Structure 1
Amino acid sequence: MKNVLSIAGVDPSGGAGLIADLKVFIAHQTYAMGVVTATTAQNTQGIYGMDLVDTKIIADGIKAIFDDIKVNAVKIGVVPSVDIIKTVASSLQNLKDSGKLPAVVLDPVMACKNGDIWLEGDSKKAIVEYLFPLATIITPNRFEASEITGIKVNCVDSAKNAAKELLKLGTKAVFLKLGDIDGKSVDIFYDGDEFLELTTKRLDTNSTHGSGCSLSSAIAANLANGLSLKDAVKNAQEYVFEAIKTAPLIGSGCNPVNHFYNFYN
Protein backbone atom coordinates (compact mmCIF):
# COMPACT_ATOMS: atom_id res chain seq x y z
CA MET A 1 0.00 0.00 0.00
CA LYS A 2 1.24 3.49 -0.91
CA ASN A 3 1.21 6.40 1.53
CA VAL A 4 -0.23 9.84 0.69
CA LEU A 5 0.00 13.02 2.79
CA SER A 6 -2.42 15.94 2.69
CA ILE A 7 -1.32 19.34 3.96
CA ALA A 8 -4.56 21.28 4.20
CA GLY A 9 -7.27 22.90 6.30
CA VAL A 10 -10.17 21.18 8.02
CA ASP A 11 -13.79 21.48 6.90
CA PRO A 12 -15.70 19.97 9.85
CA SER A 13 -18.60 19.00 7.59
CA GLY A 14 -16.22 16.60 5.80
CA GLY A 15 -17.09 17.80 2.33
CA ALA A 16 -13.84 19.56 1.52
CA GLY A 17 -10.36 20.10 2.88
CA LEU A 18 -8.27 17.56 4.71
CA ILE A 19 -11.15 15.30 5.78
CA ALA A 20 -12.28 14.99 2.16
CA ASP A 21 -8.68 14.35 1.09
CA LEU A 22 -8.40 11.44 3.51
CA LYS A 23 -11.62 9.94 2.14
CA VAL A 24 -10.26 10.17 -1.40
CA PHE A 25 -6.97 8.53 -0.40
CA ILE A 26 -8.83 5.65 1.25
CA ALA A 27 -11.12 5.28 -1.78
CA HIS A 28 -7.97 4.84 -3.90
CA GLN A 29 -6.63 2.15 -1.54
CA THR A 30 -3.77 4.26 -0.22
CA TYR A 31 -2.78 4.97 3.37
CA ALA A 32 -4.11 8.42 4.32
CA MET A 33 -2.15 10.96 6.38
CA GLY A 34 -2.68 14.64 7.13
CA VAL A 35 -1.00 17.76 8.51
CA VAL A 36 -3.50 20.50 9.42
CA THR A 37 -2.85 24.11 8.37
CA ALA A 38 -6.11 25.66 9.61
CA THR A 39 -9.44 24.80 11.17
CA THR A 40 -12.70 26.32 9.97
CA ALA A 41 -16.29 26.75 11.06
CA GLN A 42 -17.98 25.51 7.91
CA ASN A 43 -20.91 23.52 6.58
CA THR A 44 -22.64 23.07 3.23
CA GLN A 45 -23.96 26.64 3.39
CA GLY A 46 -20.79 28.62 3.99
CA ILE A 47 -17.59 29.38 5.87
CA TYR A 48 -18.08 31.22 9.16
CA GLY A 49 -14.63 31.29 10.74
CA MET A 50 -11.02 30.18 10.45
CA ASP A 51 -8.14 29.72 12.90
CA LEU A 52 -4.61 29.11 11.67
CA VAL A 53 -2.36 26.40 13.06
CA ASP A 54 1.02 27.47 14.50
CA THR A 55 3.77 27.15 11.90
CA LYS A 56 6.06 25.17 14.21
CA ILE A 57 3.56 22.33 14.64
CA ILE A 58 3.04 22.30 10.84
CA ALA A 59 6.79 22.02 10.19
CA ASP A 60 7.21 19.47 12.98
CA GLY A 61 4.28 17.44 11.65
CA ILE A 62 5.70 17.26 8.13
CA LYS A 63 9.15 16.35 9.47
CA ALA A 64 7.73 13.67 11.77
CA ILE A 65 5.92 11.99 8.89
CA PHE A 66 8.91 11.95 6.55
CA ASP A 67 11.34 10.91 9.29
CA ASP A 68 9.34 7.74 9.85
CA ILE A 69 7.23 6.92 6.78
CA LYS A 70 7.93 6.65 3.06
CA VAL A 71 5.56 9.18 1.49
CA ASN A 72 4.61 8.41 -2.12
CA ALA A 73 2.75 11.66 -2.88
CA VAL A 74 1.80 14.96 -1.25
CA LYS A 75 -1.33 17.02 -1.79
CA ILE A 76 -1.34 20.67 -0.68
CA GLY A 77 -4.65 22.43 -0.11
CA VAL A 78 -5.43 25.55 1.91
CA VAL A 79 -2.32 27.39 3.13
CA PRO A 80 -3.91 30.61 4.41
CA SER A 81 -0.95 32.82 5.41
CA VAL A 82 2.44 33.81 4.06
CA ASP A 83 4.13 32.31 7.12
CA ILE A 84 2.37 28.97 6.62
CA ILE A 85 3.20 28.98 2.90
CA LYS A 86 6.88 29.67 3.62
CA THR A 87 6.89 26.98 6.32
CA VAL A 88 5.43 24.33 4.01
CA ALA A 89 7.73 25.40 1.17
CA SER A 90 10.80 25.26 3.42
CA SER A 91 9.87 21.80 4.66
CA LEU A 92 9.38 20.49 1.13
CA GLN A 93 12.53 22.19 -0.16
CA ASN A 94 14.56 20.43 2.53
CA LEU A 95 13.06 17.14 1.38
CA LYS A 96 13.83 17.97 -2.24
CA ASP A 97 17.43 18.81 -1.37
CA SER A 98 17.80 15.45 0.35
CA GLY A 99 16.15 13.56 -2.51
CA LYS A 100 13.10 12.57 -0.47
CA LEU A 101 10.40 14.74 -2.05
CA PRO A 102 7.72 12.69 -3.88
CA ALA A 103 5.19 13.99 -6.38
CA VAL A 104 3.47 17.15 -5.13
CA VAL A 105 -0.07 18.07 -6.21
CA LEU A 106 -0.86 21.70 -5.39
CA ASP A 107 -4.43 22.95 -5.36
CA PRO A 108 -3.88 26.75 -5.22
CA VAL A 109 -7.03 27.34 -3.18
CA MET A 110 -8.06 30.97 -3.34
CA ALA A 111 -11.83 30.59 -3.49
CA CYS A 112 -14.40 27.83 -3.02
CA LYS A 113 -18.06 27.24 -3.69
CA ASN A 114 -18.97 28.04 -0.09
CA GLY A 115 -17.35 31.47 -0.20
CA ASP A 116 -13.95 33.09 -0.24
CA ILE A 117 -11.12 31.34 1.54
CA TRP A 118 -9.65 33.86 3.95
CA LEU A 119 -6.06 34.22 2.76
CA GLU A 120 -3.97 36.70 4.72
CA GLY A 121 -2.03 39.55 3.09
CA ASP A 122 0.11 38.51 0.16
CA SER A 123 -0.70 34.82 0.46
CA LYS A 124 -1.88 34.50 -3.13
CA LYS A 125 1.44 35.83 -4.43
CA ALA A 126 3.36 33.68 -1.95
CA ILE A 127 1.64 30.50 -3.15
CA VAL A 128 2.90 31.21 -6.66
CA GLU A 129 6.39 32.27 -5.57
CA TYR A 130 7.18 29.58 -3.02
CA LEU A 131 4.99 26.55 -3.83
CA PHE A 132 4.63 26.51 -7.63
CA PRO A 133 8.33 25.63 -8.16
CA LEU A 134 7.93 22.61 -5.86
CA ALA A 135 4.78 21.31 -7.56
CA THR A 136 4.59 18.37 -9.92
CA ILE A 137 1.17 19.61 -11.00
CA ILE A 138 -1.18 22.44 -10.00
CA THR A 139 -4.99 22.30 -10.25
CA PRO A 140 -6.43 25.84 -10.41
CA ASN A 141 -10.00 26.59 -11.41
CA ARG A 142 -10.70 29.16 -14.12
CA PHE A 143 -11.04 32.03 -11.62
CA GLU A 144 -7.76 31.23 -9.86
CA ALA A 145 -6.02 30.87 -13.23
CA SER A 146 -7.40 34.26 -14.29
CA GLU A 147 -6.23 35.94 -11.09
CA ILE A 148 -2.75 34.45 -11.27
CA THR A 149 -2.11 35.08 -14.97
CA GLY A 150 -4.24 38.14 -15.71
CA ILE A 151 -5.85 36.25 -18.60
CA LYS A 152 -9.65 36.15 -18.69
CA VAL A 153 -10.24 32.39 -18.79
CA ASN A 154 -13.64 31.76 -20.38
CA CYS A 155 -13.02 29.35 -23.27
CA VAL A 156 -10.70 26.54 -24.29
CA ASP A 157 -8.25 28.82 -26.13
CA SER A 158 -7.92 31.23 -23.21
CA ALA A 159 -7.50 28.26 -20.83
CA LYS A 160 -4.65 26.93 -22.96
CA ASN A 161 -2.98 30.34 -22.98
CA ALA A 162 -3.34 30.56 -19.21
CA ALA A 163 -1.90 27.06 -18.80
CA LYS A 164 1.17 28.09 -20.77
CA GLU A 165 1.67 31.11 -18.51
CA LEU A 166 1.14 29.04 -15.37
CA LEU A 167 3.79 26.56 -16.47
CA LYS A 168 6.30 29.42 -16.69
CA LEU A 169 5.89 29.97 -12.93
CA GLY A 170 7.71 26.78 -12.03
CA THR A 171 5.25 23.91 -11.93
CA LYS A 172 5.86 20.89 -14.14
CA ALA A 173 2.23 20.49 -15.28
CA VAL A 174 -1.17 22.17 -15.09
CA PHE A 175 -4.69 20.78 -14.77
CA LEU A 176 -6.98 23.77 -15.31
CA LYS A 177 -10.61 23.25 -14.27
CA LEU A 178 -12.36 25.28 -16.94
CA GLY A 179 -15.92 24.22 -16.10
CA ASP A 180 -19.06 24.75 -18.14
CA ILE A 181 -18.38 25.27 -21.85
CA ASP A 182 -21.41 24.90 -24.14
CA GLY A 183 -23.17 22.54 -21.76
CA LYS A 184 -20.17 20.31 -21.08
CA SER A 185 -17.59 20.25 -18.29
CA VAL A 186 -14.13 20.86 -19.72
CA ASP A 187 -10.70 20.53 -18.12
CA ILE A 188 -7.34 21.29 -19.71
CA PHE A 189 -4.15 19.34 -18.93
CA TYR A 190 -0.80 20.72 -20.08
CA ASP A 191 2.69 19.39 -19.35
CA GLY A 192 4.72 21.64 -21.63
CA ASP A 193 4.69 19.13 -24.48
CA GLU A 194 1.02 18.57 -25.23
CA PHE A 195 -2.46 19.72 -24.33
CA LEU A 196 -5.13 17.25 -23.29
CA GLU A 197 -8.73 18.46 -23.41
CA LEU A 198 -10.86 16.37 -21.05
CA THR A 199 -14.63 16.64 -21.44
CA THR A 200 -17.48 15.13 -19.46
CA LYS A 201 -21.23 15.49 -19.43
CA ARG A 202 -22.41 18.54 -17.50
CA LEU A 203 -24.42 17.34 -14.48
CA ASP A 204 -27.37 19.43 -13.26
CA THR A 205 -26.62 19.18 -9.55
CA ASN A 206 -25.74 21.19 -6.46
CA SER A 207 -23.60 18.38 -5.02
CA THR A 208 -20.19 19.76 -5.90
CA HIS A 209 -18.81 20.94 -2.54
CA GLY A 210 -15.22 19.73 -2.26
CA SER A 211 -14.99 18.55 -5.86
CA GLY A 212 -11.81 20.56 -6.42
CA CYS A 213 -10.18 19.21 -3.26
CA SER A 214 -11.20 15.70 -4.23
CA LEU A 215 -9.82 16.04 -7.75
CA SER A 216 -6.36 17.10 -6.59
CA SER A 217 -6.36 14.37 -3.93
CA ALA A 218 -7.33 11.76 -6.50
CA ILE A 219 -4.46 12.89 -8.74
CA ALA A 220 -2.07 12.55 -5.79
CA ALA A 221 -3.35 9.07 -4.94
CA ASN A 222 -3.09 7.99 -8.58
CA LEU A 223 0.49 9.25 -8.79
CA ALA A 224 1.33 7.42 -5.56
CA ASN A 225 -0.10 4.26 -7.09
CA GLY A 226 2.30 4.56 -10.01
CA LEU A 227 0.16 6.10 -12.75
CA SER A 228 1.64 8.57 -15.21
CA LEU A 229 0.60 12.22 -14.93
CA LYS A 230 -1.69 11.90 -17.93
CA ASP A 231 -3.41 8.76 -16.63
CA ALA A 232 -3.56 10.20 -13.12
CA VAL A 233 -5.56 13.23 -14.23
CA LYS A 234 -7.82 11.17 -16.51
CA ASN A 235 -8.69 8.74 -13.72
CA ALA A 236 -9.14 11.58 -11.22
CA GLN A 237 -11.60 13.36 -13.49
CA GLU A 238 -13.60 10.15 -13.94
CA TYR A 239 -13.59 9.55 -10.17
CA VAL A 240 -14.92 13.04 -9.38
CA PHE A 241 -17.57 12.80 -12.11
CA GLU A 242 -18.97 9.60 -10.58
CA ALA A 243 -18.67 11.06 -7.07
CA ILE A 244 -20.77 14.05 -8.11
CA LYS A 245 -23.22 11.92 -10.08
CA THR A 246 -23.96 9.62 -7.12
CA ALA A 247 -23.82 12.21 -4.32
CA PRO A 248 -26.43 11.80 -1.54
CA LEU A 249 -28.23 14.71 0.09
CA ILE A 250 -26.23 15.72 3.18
CA GLY A 251 -26.97 19.36 4.02
CA SER A 252 -29.20 22.18 2.85
CA GLY A 253 -26.55 24.08 0.88
CA CYS A 254 -23.87 23.01 -1.61
CA ASN A 255 -23.65 19.29 -0.91
CA PRO A 256 -20.45 17.24 -0.83
CA VAL A 257 -19.61 14.60 -3.40
CA ASN A 258 -19.85 10.86 -2.77
CA HIS A 259 -16.24 9.92 -2.06
CA PHE A 260 -17.05 6.24 -1.48
CA TYR A 261 -19.42 5.56 -4.37
CA ASN A 262 -17.27 2.62 -5.48
CA PHE A 263 -17.64 1.02 -2.04
CA TYR A 264 -21.41 1.32 -1.84
CA ASN A 265 -22.09 0.22 -5.40
Structure 2
Amino acid sequence: MVGIMKGIISIQSHVVFGHAGNSSAVFPLQRMGFEVWPIHTVQFSNHTQYAQGWTGKAFPASEITDLVAGIDAIGELGNCDALLSGYLGSAEQGIALTEVVSRVKKANPNALYVCDPVMGDPEKGCILAEGVSEYIVDSVMPIADVIVPNQFELSRFVKMPINNLEDAIKACQKALTLGPKIVLVKHLHSLSEEKFSMMLADQSGCYLVTRPHLEFAKAPVGVGDLISALFTAGLMKGWSPIAAFEHANNASYDVLAATQKSGEWELQTILAQQQIAHPNSTFGARKVD
Protein backbone atom coordinates (compact mmCIF):
# COMPACT_ATOMS: atom_id res chain seq x y z
CA MET A 1 0.00 0.00 0.00
CA VAL A 2 1.33 3.44 -0.95
CA GLY A 3 1.42 5.90 1.95
CA ILE A 4 0.07 9.42 1.76
CA MET A 5 2.37 11.87 0.01
CA LYS A 6 3.90 14.33 2.44
CA GLY A 7 3.11 18.00 2.06
CA ILE A 8 4.97 21.30 1.89
CA ILE A 9 3.35 24.40 3.38
CA SER A 10 4.28 27.49 1.35
CA ILE A 11 3.55 30.84 3.02
CA GLN A 12 4.12 33.59 0.47
CA SER A 13 2.50 36.32 -1.59
CA HIS A 14 0.20 35.37 -4.46
CA VAL A 15 -0.60 37.01 -7.78
CA VAL A 16 -3.68 36.14 -9.84
CA PHE A 17 -1.91 36.83 -13.14
CA GLY A 18 1.69 35.83 -13.76
CA HIS A 19 4.28 34.22 -11.53
CA ALA A 20 5.57 35.65 -8.25
CA GLY A 21 5.49 34.37 -4.69
CA ASN A 22 3.31 31.28 -4.43
CA SER A 23 2.39 31.71 -8.09
CA SER A 24 6.08 31.15 -8.88
CA ALA A 25 6.77 28.49 -6.24
CA VAL A 26 3.77 26.16 -6.03
CA PHE A 27 3.77 24.67 -9.53
CA PRO A 28 7.54 23.86 -9.58
CA LEU A 29 7.16 22.10 -6.22
CA GLN A 30 4.22 20.13 -7.62
CA ARG A 31 6.06 19.41 -10.88
CA MET A 32 8.89 17.92 -8.83
CA GLY A 33 6.45 15.57 -7.13
CA PHE A 34 5.20 17.24 -3.96
CA GLU A 35 1.83 18.09 -2.50
CA VAL A 36 1.82 21.81 -1.74
CA TRP A 37 -0.39 23.56 0.78
CA PRO A 38 -0.23 27.26 -0.16
CA ILE A 39 -1.08 30.02 2.31
CA HIS A 40 -1.11 33.54 0.87
CA THR A 41 0.20 36.55 2.81
CA VAL A 42 -1.18 38.93 0.17
CA GLN A 43 -3.25 38.47 -2.98
CA PHE A 44 -2.62 40.93 -5.80
CA SER A 45 -3.92 41.05 -9.35
CA ASN A 46 -0.34 41.04 -10.67
CA HIS A 47 3.18 41.69 -9.42
CA THR A 48 4.11 45.18 -8.33
CA GLN A 49 6.52 46.08 -11.13
CA TYR A 50 3.76 46.90 -13.62
CA ALA A 51 3.61 50.64 -14.41
CA GLN A 52 -0.19 50.42 -14.36
CA GLY A 53 -0.14 49.34 -10.71
CA TRP A 54 -2.04 46.45 -9.16
CA THR A 55 -5.13 45.66 -7.10
CA GLY A 56 -5.60 43.39 -4.11
CA LYS A 57 -4.79 43.35 -0.43
CA ALA A 58 -2.72 41.87 2.37
CA PHE A 59 -4.37 39.32 4.63
CA PRO A 60 -4.51 39.66 8.42
CA ALA A 61 -1.88 37.65 10.26
CA SER A 62 -4.61 35.56 11.89
CA GLU A 63 -5.33 33.98 8.47
CA ILE A 64 -1.95 32.22 8.63
CA THR A 65 -2.39 30.75 12.11
CA ASP A 66 -6.08 29.95 11.53
CA LEU A 67 -5.39 27.99 8.34
CA VAL A 68 -2.59 26.00 9.93
CA ALA A 69 -4.80 25.31 12.95
CA GLY A 70 -7.40 23.92 10.54
CA ILE A 71 -4.85 21.60 8.96
CA ASP A 72 -3.80 20.50 12.44
CA ALA A 73 -7.43 19.89 13.45
CA ILE A 74 -7.91 17.31 10.68
CA GLY A 75 -4.73 15.52 11.74
CA GLU A 76 -2.64 16.43 8.69
CA LEU A 77 0.03 18.73 10.15
CA GLY A 78 2.20 15.72 10.99
CA ASN A 79 2.28 15.01 7.23
CA CYS A 80 3.96 18.36 6.60
CA ASP A 81 7.59 17.59 5.74
CA ALA A 82 8.66 21.17 4.99
CA LEU A 83 7.62 24.77 5.49
CA LEU A 84 8.74 27.37 2.94
CA SER A 85 8.19 31.06 3.63
CA GLY A 86 8.60 34.10 1.40
CA TYR A 87 7.16 37.62 1.30
CA LEU A 88 5.55 38.86 4.51
CA GLY A 89 3.17 41.81 4.38
CA SER A 90 3.46 42.88 8.03
CA ALA A 91 5.42 42.33 11.23
CA GLU A 92 2.31 40.62 12.64
CA GLN A 93 2.55 38.06 9.82
CA GLY A 94 6.16 37.49 10.88
CA ILE A 95 5.02 36.71 14.42
CA ALA A 96 2.36 34.37 13.06
CA LEU A 97 5.00 32.66 10.91
CA THR A 98 7.25 31.92 13.90
CA GLU A 99 4.23 30.45 15.72
CA VAL A 100 3.51 28.24 12.70
CA VAL A 101 7.14 27.06 12.50
CA SER A 102 6.89 25.98 16.14
CA ARG A 103 3.55 24.24 15.56
CA VAL A 104 4.80 22.37 12.47
CA LYS A 105 7.97 21.25 14.25
CA LYS A 106 5.89 20.02 17.20
CA ALA A 107 3.70 17.96 14.85
CA ASN A 108 6.69 16.70 12.85
CA PRO A 109 10.10 17.24 14.51
CA ASN A 110 11.82 16.28 11.24
CA ALA A 111 10.07 18.98 9.21
CA LEU A 112 12.45 21.35 7.42
CA TYR A 113 11.95 25.12 7.63
CA VAL A 114 13.24 27.01 4.57
CA CYS A 115 13.17 30.81 4.88
CA ASP A 116 13.36 33.04 1.80
CA PRO A 117 13.82 36.35 3.69
CA VAL A 118 12.26 38.65 1.10
CA MET A 119 13.38 42.20 1.91
CA GLY A 120 14.54 43.79 -1.31
CA ASP A 121 17.49 44.13 -3.63
CA PRO A 122 20.20 46.72 -4.37
CA GLU A 123 18.11 48.52 -7.00
CA LYS A 124 14.88 48.67 -4.98
CA GLY A 125 16.48 48.92 -1.53
CA CYS A 126 14.41 47.55 1.33
CA ILE A 127 10.86 46.93 0.09
CA LEU A 128 9.39 46.32 3.55
CA ALA A 129 8.52 48.54 6.46
CA GLU A 130 11.55 48.65 8.77
CA GLY A 131 9.81 46.69 11.52
CA VAL A 132 9.20 43.75 9.17
CA SER A 133 12.79 43.43 7.99
CA GLU A 134 14.08 43.73 11.56
CA TYR A 135 11.74 40.96 12.69
CA ILE A 136 12.84 38.72 9.81
CA VAL A 137 16.53 39.28 10.67
CA ASP A 138 16.19 38.96 14.44
CA SER A 139 13.45 36.37 14.89
CA VAL A 140 12.71 34.47 11.67
CA MET A 141 16.04 33.74 9.97
CA PRO A 142 17.73 32.38 13.16
CA ILE A 143 15.07 29.65 13.57
CA ALA A 144 15.30 28.49 9.93
CA ASP A 145 17.07 25.27 8.97
CA VAL A 146 17.78 26.77 5.54
CA ILE A 147 17.91 30.41 4.43
CA VAL A 148 17.79 31.55 0.80
CA PRO A 149 18.69 35.27 0.83
CA ASN A 150 20.01 37.45 -1.95
CA GLN A 151 23.20 39.42 -1.32
CA PHE A 152 21.33 42.40 0.16
CA GLU A 153 19.35 40.18 2.55
CA LEU A 154 22.41 38.17 3.63
CA SER A 155 24.29 41.40 4.34
CA ARG A 156 21.42 42.57 6.57
CA PHE A 157 21.42 39.25 8.45
CA VAL A 158 25.15 39.11 9.18
CA LYS A 159 25.56 42.90 9.50
CA MET A 160 28.54 43.15 7.16
CA PRO A 161 29.06 44.49 3.62
CA ILE A 162 29.64 42.08 0.75
CA ASN A 163 31.81 43.45 -2.05
CA ASN A 164 33.70 40.41 -3.35
CA LEU A 165 34.07 36.63 -3.14
CA GLU A 166 36.04 36.75 0.13
CA ASP A 167 33.30 38.85 1.77
CA ALA A 168 30.62 36.47 0.48
CA ILE A 169 32.41 33.44 1.98
CA LYS A 170 32.84 35.22 5.34
CA ALA A 171 29.19 36.30 5.34
CA CYS A 172 28.00 32.75 4.64
CA GLN A 173 30.26 31.34 7.34
CA LYS A 174 28.93 33.88 9.83
CA ALA A 175 25.33 33.10 8.85
CA LEU A 176 25.95 29.43 9.70
CA THR A 177 26.82 30.48 13.28
CA LEU A 178 23.51 32.31 13.71
CA GLY A 179 21.14 29.32 13.44
CA PRO A 180 20.69 28.09 9.86
CA LYS A 181 22.46 24.90 8.79
CA ILE A 182 22.39 25.67 5.06
CA VAL A 183 22.69 29.02 3.26
CA LEU A 184 21.92 29.51 -0.42
CA VAL A 185 22.66 33.03 -1.65
CA LYS A 186 20.46 33.27 -4.71
CA HIS A 187 22.20 36.26 -6.31
CA LEU A 188 25.67 37.61 -5.53
CA HIS A 189 25.63 40.71 -7.72
CA SER A 190 29.01 42.02 -6.51
CA LEU A 191 30.99 39.09 -7.91
CA SER A 192 30.55 39.71 -11.64
CA GLU A 193 28.60 41.83 -14.09
CA GLU A 194 29.09 39.30 -16.89
CA LYS A 195 27.94 36.23 -14.96
CA PHE A 196 25.08 35.44 -12.59
CA SER A 197 26.52 33.95 -9.38
CA MET A 198 24.96 31.94 -6.55
CA MET A 199 26.63 30.50 -3.45
CA LEU A 200 25.85 27.54 -1.21
CA ALA A 201 27.30 27.12 2.27
CA ASP A 202 26.96 24.31 4.77
CA GLN A 203 29.26 22.53 7.22
CA SER A 204 31.28 21.07 4.33
CA GLY A 205 32.23 24.48 2.91
CA CYS A 206 31.21 27.14 0.41
CA TYR A 207 30.38 26.44 -3.23
CA LEU A 208 29.91 28.82 -6.16
CA VAL A 209 27.96 28.30 -9.36
CA THR A 210 27.92 30.79 -12.22
CA ARG A 211 25.89 31.00 -15.41
CA PRO A 212 25.50 33.56 -18.19
CA HIS A 213 23.37 36.64 -17.62
CA LEU A 214 20.24 36.72 -19.76
CA GLU A 215 19.21 40.15 -21.01
CA PHE A 216 15.60 41.31 -20.71
CA ALA A 217 14.00 44.65 -21.56
CA LYS A 218 12.24 44.41 -18.17
CA ALA A 219 13.65 42.16 -15.46
CA PRO A 220 11.47 39.11 -14.71
CA VAL A 221 9.92 38.97 -11.23
CA GLY A 222 9.63 35.84 -9.11
CA VAL A 223 13.00 34.31 -10.00
CA GLY A 224 14.10 34.18 -6.35
CA ASP A 225 10.82 32.52 -5.38
CA LEU A 226 11.42 29.94 -8.11
CA ILE A 227 14.99 29.24 -6.93
CA SER A 228 13.86 28.80 -3.31
CA ALA A 229 11.12 26.37 -4.35
CA LEU A 230 13.45 24.34 -6.57
CA PHE A 231 16.07 24.11 -3.81
CA THR A 232 13.45 23.07 -1.25
CA ALA A 233 12.16 20.37 -3.60
CA GLY A 234 15.67 19.03 -4.18
CA LEU A 235 16.36 18.80 -0.45
CA MET A 236 12.99 17.10 0.11
CA LYS A 237 13.90 14.51 -2.52
CA GLY A 238 16.84 13.58 -0.33
CA TRP A 239 19.44 15.05 -2.66
CA SER A 240 22.66 16.43 -1.22
CA PRO A 241 22.65 20.22 -0.74
CA ILE A 242 25.12 20.55 -3.63
CA ALA A 243 22.94 18.49 -5.99
CA ALA A 244 19.85 20.49 -4.99
CA PHE A 245 21.85 23.71 -5.46
CA GLU A 246 23.00 22.78 -8.96
CA HIS A 247 19.50 21.67 -9.95
CA ALA A 248 17.96 24.93 -8.67
CA ASN A 249 20.46 26.93 -10.72
CA ASN A 250 20.08 24.88 -13.89
CA ALA A 251 16.28 24.63 -13.81
CA SER A 252 15.79 28.33 -13.06
CA TYR A 253 18.18 29.22 -15.88
CA ASP A 254 16.17 27.06 -18.29
CA VAL A 255 12.93 28.76 -17.22
CA LEU A 256 14.55 32.17 -17.80
CA ALA A 257 15.89 31.04 -21.19
CA ALA A 258 12.39 29.93 -22.23
CA THR A 259 11.02 33.26 -20.99
CA GLN A 260 13.59 35.22 -23.00
CA LYS A 261 12.98 33.13 -26.11
CA SER A 262 9.25 33.85 -25.81
CA GLY A 263 9.87 37.59 -25.64
CA GLU A 264 8.10 37.74 -22.26
CA TRP A 265 8.99 39.13 -18.84
CA GLU A 266 6.49 37.00 -16.88
CA LEU A 267 8.26 33.74 -16.09
CA GLN A 268 7.24 30.99 -18.50
CA THR A 269 7.02 28.39 -15.76
CA ILE A 270 4.37 26.26 -17.45
CA LEU A 271 6.05 26.36 -20.85
CA ALA A 272 9.35 25.21 -19.31
CA GLN A 273 7.84 22.62 -16.98
CA GLN A 274 9.87 19.76 -18.43
CA GLN A 275 13.09 21.65 -17.63
CA ILE A 276 11.92 22.21 -14.04
CA ALA A 277 12.10 18.47 -13.43
CA HIS A 278 14.86 17.68 -15.94
CA PRO A 279 17.01 20.72 -16.77
CA ASN A 280 18.89 20.90 -20.06
CA SER A 281 21.63 23.06 -18.53
CA THR A 282 24.52 21.50 -16.64
CA PHE A 283 26.36 24.29 -14.82
CA GLY A 284 28.40 22.75 -11.99
CA ALA A 285 29.30 24.13 -8.56
CA ARG A 286 32.90 24.50 -7.41
CA LYS A 287 34.28 24.71 -3.88
CA VAL A 288 35.66 28.16 -3.11
CA ASP A 289 36.72 28.15 0.55
Q: TM-score, normalised by structure 2?
A: 0.80
1:35 counterpart = 2:49: no
SS at match of 1:93: helix
1:191-230 aligned at under 5 Å gives the runs 191-205=202-216, 206=218, 208-230=220-242
The question of whether the paired residues in 1 share the 8 Å contact of 2:155 and 2:171 is answered with yes
Instruction: Name 2:65's counterpart in structure 1.
Output: 59
Unaligned runs of 5+ in 1: none
What are the superposed Cα offsets for residues 73-102 of structure 1, whole Å, 9 maximum, x if unpaired? 221001122211111101211332444451
CA distance, structure 2, for counterparts of residue 109 and residue 123 of structure 1: 10
Q: Which residue of 2 aligns with 1:22?
A: 26
Q: Give the 4+ runs in structure 1 shifted more than 4 A.
A: 46-50, 112-118
In the TM superposition, 1:1-265 aligns within 5 A as 1-43=5-47, 44-45=49-50, 48=54, 51-66=57-72, 67-68=75-76, 70-100=79-109, 102-111=111-120, 118-176=127-185, 177-179=187-189, 181-205=192-216, 206=218, 208-247=220-259, 248-250=262-264, 255-260=265-270, 261-263=272-274
**What is the deviation of 1:52?**
2.4
Of 77-86 and 2-11, the range deviating more from structure 2 = 2-11
Corresponding letter in the other structure for 1:88: L
Identity %: 21
Aligned residues: 261
Which of structures 1 and 2 has the larger relative contact order (alpha carbons within 8 angstroms, sep 6+)? Answer: 1
SS at match of 1:246: helix
- Structure 1 pair 101–115 and aligned structure 2 pair: CA distance change class (3 A): farther
| Aligned-residue offset at 1:59 | 0.4
The question of whether the paired residues in 1 share the 8 Å contact of 2:195 and 2:212 is answered with yes
Q: Which moved more, 1:146-155 or 1:82-91?
A: 146-155
| Displacement of 1:163 | 1.2
Aligned-pair CA distance for 1:204: 2.4
CA offset digits 1:126-158 (Å, max 9, x no partner)? 112222233121111112222333322232111
What amino acid is aligned across from residue 269 of structure 2 in structure 1? H
Distance in 2 between residues matched to 1:193 and 1:20, nearest whole Å: 30
| Aligned CA distance change for structure 1 residues 139 and 55 (closer, same or farther; 3 Å) | same
Distance in 1 between residues matched to 2:102 and 2:38, nearest whole Å: 18
Partner secondary structure for residue 188 of structure 2? strand
DSSP 3-state at the match of 1:124: helix
Structure-1-length-normalised TM-score: 0.87
> 1:50, CA displacement in angstroms?
6.3
| Contact 1:5–1:75 (CA under 8 A) maintained in structure 2 | yes
Supply the RMSD in Å over aligned alpha carbons: 2.6
CA distance in 2, matches of 1:114, 1:6: 27
Report Cα offsets for 1:194-219 as digits up to 9, x if no partner.
Answer: 11111122222345321100000111
